Structure 1
Amino acid sequence: MPNSQQGGKPNYKDVLDITRCELIYRRKKQWDIFVWVVTILVSVISGIVVLTSKGEIKPDLVSRFAMAFALVFLTRYAIVWINENIEAEKHANEVIRKLLRDHNVEVDAIRRPSEFRFGYDRVLMLIGCAAVLSILLVSIVPGWLELVP
């Protein structure tokens, strides 16, 4: 009977497997949040451009600021949740690295989450800013679509 079933300390392979599953779960969750929010932001940009280019819909200042505020909130909320998952991923990564080092296994092949320079949060920030600017500026500058080839 393995140690983990005897009520004692679990063996390192069980801990490694559980931690690996946590790492995979956190990375998938980050990706899912990222894709969900980027889809919303790009849809808003596209929708605003299409609707205002026809000239039939011209949102008033209050509506534009309300939409912009909602998008800022959504973007910020997504960044917070992605960063929460990154912290959990870092913890799982460190547990895996420690387990492998304790068993004399090379750990340099495993990248730490902090080694990625241009991550989800920065991309979300850029797309979020583009969405807010499209809402605030697109109907203010008449004829701007005529400048786009």
Structure 2
Amino acid sequence: MSFTLISTLAHVLVLVCAWHIYLKFKRPRNLPPGPKGYPIVGNLFQLNVNRPWHSLVEWKKTYGDIVYIRLFNQDVIVLNSAKAAGDLLDRRAANYSQRPRVPVVECLSGGLNIGLIDHGTRWVSKKHWAISSILHNSIDGAPCVALHTKH
């Protein structure tokens, strides 16, 4: 093969890789406003390390109650007011309350962690069970399983 053919193929490969990286980190248009992040790490270095909520409050003043940030490869929507949280997570829960899958927590809890179950009939039944057990201070009918035993 000639040098020009190899050079051309290398340039095309670099352009295809650059385009792929651009598309991967490009911000989708249907997300709320938020600070522009850096490639790969997103907004990680823009958060206050010791008090990240201070950064979120500043972004609320700039971008509004709903802010989009990116932490590494994870998109994060921050709800900075009770009204926004109520609108999205209560009234439109079926659309917006997906939780991230955490295999370690699923394994340790046997898939019963109410904090990480997506909104639906299973979540509603677990919520009712949790509320009734807290209010009545008993867990009648629920089998207790010892996950760890100390000797």
Q: Larger strand proportion, structure 1 or 2?
A: 2
TM-score range, shorter chain: under 0.3
Task: Give the helix-richer structure, 1 or 2.
Answer: 1
- TM-score, structure 1 normalization: 0.26
